[in-house]
Amino acid sequence: MAIALRKNDEIAKLREANRIVGATLELLASHAKPGVTLKELDAIGEDFIRSQGATPSFKGLYGFPSAVCTSLNEVIIHGIPTDYPLQEGDIIGFDVGTKKGGYFGDAAISVGVGKITAEDEALIACAKDALYYAIDIIQEGMRFKELSYELETFIKGRGFVPLRGFCGHGIGKKPHEEPEIPNYLDGPNAKAGPKIKNGMVFCLEPMICQKEGTSKILANGWDVVSTDGLRGSHYEHTVAIINGRAEILSIA
pLDDT single digits (tens) 78-137:
999 999 999 999 999 999 999 999 999 999 999 999 999 999 999 999 999 999 999 999
Q: What is the DSSP letter of 63?
A: G
CB 142 within 8 A of CB 196: yes
Distance separating alpha carbons of residues 153 and 158, to the nearest angstrom: 9
What is the Cα gyration radius of the chain? 17
Q: Is the pLDDT of residue 248 over 80?
A: yes
The CATH number of 8-248 is 3.90.230.10
* DSSP three-state, residue 197: coil
pLDDT in tens, 213-244: 999 999 999 999 999 999 999 999 999 999 99
Element (H, E) at 37: none
Q: Is the pLDDT of residue 1 over 80?
A: no
If you average pLDDT over residues 185-191, what whole number do you get?
A: 92
If you average pLDDT over residues 153-172, what whole number do you get?
A: 98
Q: What is the DSSP letter of 222?
A: -
CB 103 within 8 A of CB 173: yes
Q: Is the pLDDT of residue 68 over 70?
A: yes
Residue 69 burial (C-beta neighbours within 10 Å; 0-12, 13-18, 19+) = buried
pLDDT in tens, 4-63: 999 999 999 999 999 999 999 999 999 999 999 999 999 999 999 999 999 999 999 999
- CA distances in angstroms from 82 to 13, 50, 68, 112, 193, listed in the order given: 33, 21, 11, 18, 41
Distance separating alpha carbons of residues 200 and 17, to the nearest angstrom: 16
135-147 per-residue burial string, b: 16 or more CB within 10 A, e: under 16 = beebebebbbbbb
Does the global pTM surpass 0.95?
A: yes
Percentage of the chain modeled with pLDDT above 70 = 100
CB 58 within 8 A of CB 64: yes
